[in-house]
Structure 1
């Protein structure tokens, strides 16, 4: 294909992306205060310039049959460029465009701010040294090559119409935020125009005809145009019931905010924060031109559970079919997402054939790890948002995906100190873009709230663009977007509805905080959920005492929830309780089940213990033993809670499962009053001695802080008011200074020092891979891919600090053959091929059997584990998209295996049990 044709195709596609796909909020970032027609011209011009670097000997020398005709035409090749290494053509594009701009009166810094877009169109912004290297005569070409480059650059400029605007572009550099977003749009345009099935190499049609045909085949749909209507009736129209106070105040706050900002909704578990965020998000999208919404949650399980609720809301919130993407590694296994139609082409009016208003569709082009996030509506894990702060290839696409949406992050308190670095930097960029953000939490320490507010406000800029006079005064200087006024005032200076919330006591709860560039307002709605007094007791960690406690409490029926901090403790407790109280009354759940088995267990628990009207409790006692998955993944309630000692905010999260729903007294048996028994520690020791496994998970300092706050007077029991006491207890637990008994001081001080050192180390480790704050000048070196592929396993480890463990796919081995696990419904027991890729039906069944290995295997001996599994892998399986790149763990006929010095045993009842081999 002639180079000029590909440049023309890409420029035309970029124009269509502006006209038919892009949200107004994205156009605003690209415009950077310029008129829309100028902004569109800028986008088309930069897209048309993206591959100028292919007109260089460094690029042309890669295809020898084409080199000779070029040499014959008078384009010389140095021997130096006919052998590796060669300069990437994107860097040559930067150099060529910068040189052209300088010849047209641009200073170096301003020229770089425009040229960085073609320089970074392959996913990584170049460094200054890269551009210097690209300018070496042998790589860039001299004489005739310079003439060709000049001619092409002039031609792109004339075709795009940018020459009429060069005088205005010289006066102010392109802002870094616009540099990122334009680069991402150019990447998308380049990918579309590079599809030779839609844009053939040999084509006699006009450019207009081929682009129109290619665009139609891609099938992209326009951005969502939100129409919330009357805010007074919005909640009832979307959810079919009256709004609770917190939900009503969230909608009002979204309507009243003067510019895009950050909203933090703090409310008890079960208060309806999800619906509040969706309704408020709809209002914000309408007011600020957002073309979609992303809802990020802590885990894949919570993401899957949200799909049906989200798409139910979408049916009322959208007037046409909407592209939807479920963003996590197991998304294809979600039945709702898998059932969404892949529809193309679009109808003439931008709709989708056969789809009604608000139907979520999985469009063919918007699939995959890099493009899926560009769909108008996305549900995924918080990782998908944090990747936008991870240095890596194509991170600009993540920014484009977020820049056009309202961003909602649920259970934001779950981000640990490592993840908090990426969250901080994401919020800085979202503030700079003017993206409305909604954060949800039930237990958020005051200091953490302030960190989040400061991060967003540090990046936020005033909603109104700079005046032409201001532009002229900064002639030949780039505009900084990172200093848009001071951070918001501290919480005790905030106001709510014009009345101060200041005072010596803790802030009210629930609490809605709204912050923009340099201002903050707080609203204190009334709590609408179940207010209850929870009796908190502290008991021995002895298993026999646990049995006696559960037996006595459950004699009249009801549900006992037992939450352990490690899988091993949960498995041991379940085994003891089964032996003493009966197999049929005990259910175990944790993260070490196969994905398909975990989903089934969650469904069964929800069917029996979910909200009244949606679930049916069975008569008799029930005992649910689990790990942290019970904190956040399931909307079930317990009549009695037994929990290991954990950080105070997590204990309160767990208490939120107590008497969560309104039920008849007889359903709760003898457990008619909410009661929480805290175990997992030696309470008689001075200081308290938590279980070693809990210390390994949370650290000693956090557990001692929780023990002090929960047992403030050292008594064997106390009452806690939910939700009223939540903010006070959380703030006490995370205060800079905690008053501990004198006998605890030495141990506590040592634990605090260790925690601070570990926190500093993890923060430093995260900052090595984070993109940091919004740069003042340009993107040189901004996304150098030192973090690996942001969408792959390596990237996930970088934002999660490796805590998730190594994932494997499990099969059964009989003799020399591998088989699908026998209990799978559709093809259980089927034999798997050895020398060929499994057919899609079998490969999908194997993919459903994913399992995360524990830390003993995935951290301590990871190299040995990977080596052993790779040696017994099947190379032919790399041809299947379902199992490509995955490690396979074969279990024997009795579902056991030995791996890296450990004995593994799997059962559908207990999950994976790991023991050190003899």
Structure 2
């Protein structure tokens, strides 16, 4: 049970006197400051006052934000006093400010402290920096060590020492700063530091510090989540609009702190997700109730499975494209949340483009519980501003998204960044828009990167993990993570497993070896070991579910024995070769024209932007119908508009809007989670799992009217040829650079079984077939297994490619180790001390994280603008000010619509040569973004290249001439 805090000593001065600490202590506590006057709204805030403010915020978080599972765990380790302990640990975070190193920072505050009788040698303080977070960990380790003993002290002190974003190792406790002038020499500093802890503890209702001692420990993952919640409480309590300065000790009390915290909490509009969710009845069809469609057999099976599991676990869901995996996962998430006390859902998608349509679905899903919950759904990717529904709900009318609501900068020892938002919020809590806070919102849809960031050894990683730890985590298209990204994915699974967070992984094409690795990672975390290997049985049928959990301390992995049929009957998909490895894609364009002579919809997926642009150019004037181009070098506005247009015409609700003849030429953007229906697919060769994903766009929606010759789904495989000089196929260089030769040769071998050998030129060779989705598990298993599938004449080239791929995978896996949250040798350590060894492993900026988790060269986003007479114009021609000023919302939207990510080759030159326009310096969305200024002809020189932006083709790079 949750024991209520005693209110018999809520006044700080009352506690000082009740403890008989004396006049000196009273004077010292009345001088120690926690927020300077400049950071406290004009009046300094006493340190004891800030601790109580933070504790009072923690109480609001307990009542209105914390997931039930966290409350249950804190109650477990404190024998029912979880709320009181949570408030205490959140508030004690800044005890390290009771040191000379901190008190000397502000001149006015320092003078007051000296006048009260606490002194220091200023010259000694200048020799080295001593942050108050480390000082707090040192102080708490000393006090708790004397009162609690080592068992619980060793996991609690790092929570304080790490509250500015990084956990130091135990060596910090023995450093010269920890034992010298910086920490405070002499009896007076020892007395006042202990008195601060004792008085604060007494005001919170404990008799003494010994009474605070837990009876059990949290796991390391639970500690990480708690650490993030401590930072959240601190940041909220640092907002001087609701926690104005108070330098009178007689006015400091828990009762007044609660009044301030309650007012601030409601003004900021903060809240969690579901709260306590009732368990749906066993016979309730959640899919029908939430989505309107009767549950399919596979969806029923997943929901039934999660009802029966003894504790939260990992669920690997494998089902054909279009089977309804996401709806099944959301229904299962509702059951898991109700059973095990989770407060929301994070849904991770493979790309930004796939996030937006899923965001719309999640908005409608949460509204089935309560329409107000729409305002708790975050969209977490860099282009969310261009999503109209997100903008309607979340977009602030003014203010800097990086400085909203009391974000204490990690390098700001004693204050907070500026806040500019209105005093009262109606609707979503914009506080969640600040850096690193998106996952803390009640529900979230974002790229998988958001999950991977929570597995990096970076500053404030605990905020990201705290957001995940209160939710059911769903990862869609999990197969899309390559070997490098999987290092972070498995690291995240280890931490989530140890925190007991349920995770649902979705895939249509998951290799068995990856399934095994993912299960082992989650179970390793759950059992607290790094070497768990529990053989995963081969699932029965397809679709299928594998469930992994722990029972009585032992791993349990099982899959339902009953096979369920796929909702969508398998179709024979005809495969044939379209040999072409040219940059211009001439053969591809010719084939499209030939195939669509009687009408139909063709989807052309090519592996490079240059090839897609070239094919589009060849088609746009020779096809009597619509031709669309989609790729990653389009500006934000064009990419969003074209994606929306294609889905409207080819999506499940297209109906009469479906054109008679249409071509979509795309890169990998259309490979997965692109809910469009094509009559015929022409695709560059890709690894089998990705090729099958592309085939998933074929004949996707029931009831679609098709031309007579398009009644059978067909795939033309291009990006491969034979030149007669060597036995192995000739691969498109761009494809080989992206995927490597080995998986492409394996894919070509499987296609060869159906369609015959790769011809040197296009022939009328009879097509072969794959039965999709029935053949999907077999094809993926063969492609990534050890079975010999390549012809004998390819064997030598295949073996060489295999060795190269294996060596590259080992190298990439090792490269990721430098950035993983936990070093392999440290996984078994029970506390967070030393987690951030080596600092942030070289990751200094948020923008660097994209490259870190995707093993890519860091790329730069720019806003493209044009020179215009007397000033500048946005990419769409909208005139802006002479210095680039965007004077109203419409103009700002036009300017931001020109946001484009440059190819990685331009990163260094862009960072050196490009900068925001002068008129953007005061604009929250533009002031950090460099401008690429094109001349009036729409071109520019950049790094020795000629670049331009074509309104149809997107960003174009030419090395020589125009």
Within the alignment, does 1:558 sit opposite 2:558 as a pair?
no
Q: 1:165 & 1:84 partners in 2: Cα distance?
A: 34
- Aligned mate of 2:295, from 228, 240, 243: 243
What is the deviation of 1:404? 0.6
Question: In structure 1, the residue corresponding to 2:463 is in which secondary structure?
Answer: helix
Q: 2:645 & 2:820 partners in 1: Cα distance?
A: 40
Give the direction of change, closer, same or farther, for the CA distance of 1:816–1:421 in structure 2 (3 Å limit). Answer: farther
2:892 aligned residue: 843
Question: In structure 2, the residue corresponding to 1:575 is in which secondary structure?
Answer: helix
- Aligned mate of 1:459, from 510, 515, 525: 525
Q: How large is the RMSD of aligned CA atoms in angstroms?
A: 2.6
- Aligned mate of 2:830, from 747, 770, 777: 777
2:730 aligned residue: 689
- Aligned mate of 1:832, from 865, 881, 889: 881
Cα deviation code 1:873-907 (max 9, x no counterpart):
43452321111221211122232222111112222
What is the deviation of 1:405? 0.6
Question: In structure 2, the residue corresponding to 1:51 is in which secondary structure?
Answer: helix
2:403 aligned residue: none
2:506 aligned residue: 440
Within the alignment, does 1:867 sit opposite 2:912 as a pair?
yes
Structure 2 residues without counterparts, runs of 5 or longer? 1-44, 398-425, 758-764
Within the alignment, does 1:413 sit opposite 2:479 as a pair?
yes
Question: In structure 2, the residue corresponding to 1:166 is in which secondary structure?
Answer: helix
Question: In structure 2, the residue corresponding to 1:889 is in which secondary structure?
Answer: strand
Q: 2:732 & 2:655 partners in 1: Cα distance?
A: 37
Counterparts of 1:573-612 in structure 2, within 5 Å, are 573-581=615-623, 584-612=625-653
Question: In structure 1, the residue corresponding to 2:603 is in which secondary structure?
Answer: strand
Q: 1:89 & 1:288 partners in 2: Cα distance?
A: 37
Cα deviation code 1:302-328 (max 9, x no counterpart):
111112211111111347545221111
What is the deviation of 1:737? 4.9
1:123 aligned residue: 165
Give the direction of change, closer, same or farther, for the CA distance of 1:525–1:361 in structure 2 (3 Å limit). Answer: farther
Question: In structure 2, the residue corresponding to 1:397 is in which secondary structure?
Answer: helix
2:541 aligned residue: 508
What is the deviation of 1:840? 4.8
What is the deviation of 1:400? 0.8
Q: 1:646 & 1:798 partners in 2: Cα distance?
A: 24
2:419 aligned residue: none
Q: 2:366 & 2:639 partners in 1: Cα distance?
A: 27
Give the direction of change, closer, same or farther, for the CA distance of 1:118–1:837 in structure 2 (3 Å limit). Answer: farther
2:695 aligned residue: 655
Cα deviation code 1:495-541 (max 9, x no counterpart):
xxxxxx6xxxxx52111111112112213421011420011111221
What is the deviation of 1:579? 4.8
The normalised TM-score by structure 1 is: 0.88
Question: In structure 2, the residue corresponding to 1:771 is in which secondary structure?
Answer: coil
Give the direction of change, closer, same or farther, for the CA distance of 1:386–1:555 in structure 2 (3 Å limit). Answer: same
Q: 1:164 & 1:549 partners in 2: Cα distance?
A: 81
Give the direction of change, closer, same or farther, for the CA distance of 1:434–1:172 in structure 2 (3 Å limit). Answer: closer
Question: In structure 2, the residue corresponding to 1:181 is in which secondary structure?
Answer: helix
Q: 1:68 & 1:167 partners in 2: Cα distance?
A: 36
1:902 aligned residue: 945
Give the direction of change, closer, same or farther, for the CA distance of 1:207–1:293 in structure 2 (3 Å limit). Answer: same
Q: 1:297 & 1:288 partners in 2: Cα distance?
A: 24
Q: 2:605 & 2:167 partners in 1: Cα distance?
A: 47
1:703 aligned residue: 744
- Aligned mate of 2:194, from 150, 155, 161: 150
- Aligned mate of 2:714, from 654, 675, 681: 675
1:464 aligned residue: none
The normalised TM-score by structure 2 is: 0.85
Give the direction of change, closer, same or farther, for the CA distance of 1:450–1:165 in structure 2 (3 Å limit). Answer: farther
Give the direction of change, closer, same or farther, for the CA distance of 1:366–1:160 in structure 2 (3 Å limit). Answer: same
- Aligned mate of 2:389, from 316, 319, 336: 336
Counterparts of 1:630-641 in structure 2, within 5 Å, are 630-641=670-681
What is the deviation of 1:26? 2.2
Q: 1:361 & 1:646 partners in 2: Cα distance?
A: 45
2:817 aligned residue: 767
Q: 1:362 & 1:762 partners in 2: Cα distance?
A: 41
Counterparts of 1:131-530 in structure 2, within 5 Å, are 131-133=173-175, 134-142=177-185, 143-162=187-206, 166=210, 169=213, 172-202=216-246, 206-224=256-274, 225-227=276-278, 229-231=280-282, 232-318=284-370, 321=373, 323-340=376-393, 362-461=428-527, 481-482=528-529, 487-492=533-538, 507-517=540-550, 518-523=555-560, 524-530=563-569
Question: In structure 1, the residue corresponding to 2:77 is in which secondary structure?
Answer: coil
The answer to whether the Cα contact below 8 Å between 1:98 and 1:112 also exists between their aligned partners in 2 is yes
What is the deviation of 1:612? 4.6
Q: 1:183 & 1:8 partners in 2: Cα distance?
A: 18
Cα deviation code 1:716-768 (max 9, x no counterpart):
64210000100100011111454433332332222222212221221112111
What is the deviation of 1:804? 7.2
Cα deviation code 1:35-71 (max 9, x no counterpart):
5633223222222211111111111121233333433
What is the deviation of 1:263? 1.1
What is the deviation of 1:159? 2.6
Cα deviation code 1:520-573 (max 9, x no counterpart):
221342101142001111122174543443333212211122111101111111
Cα deviation code 1:428-459 (max 9, x no counterpart):
11111111111111100000111111111111
Structure 1 residues without counterparts, runs of 5 or longer? 345-359, 462-480, 493-500, 502-506, 823-827
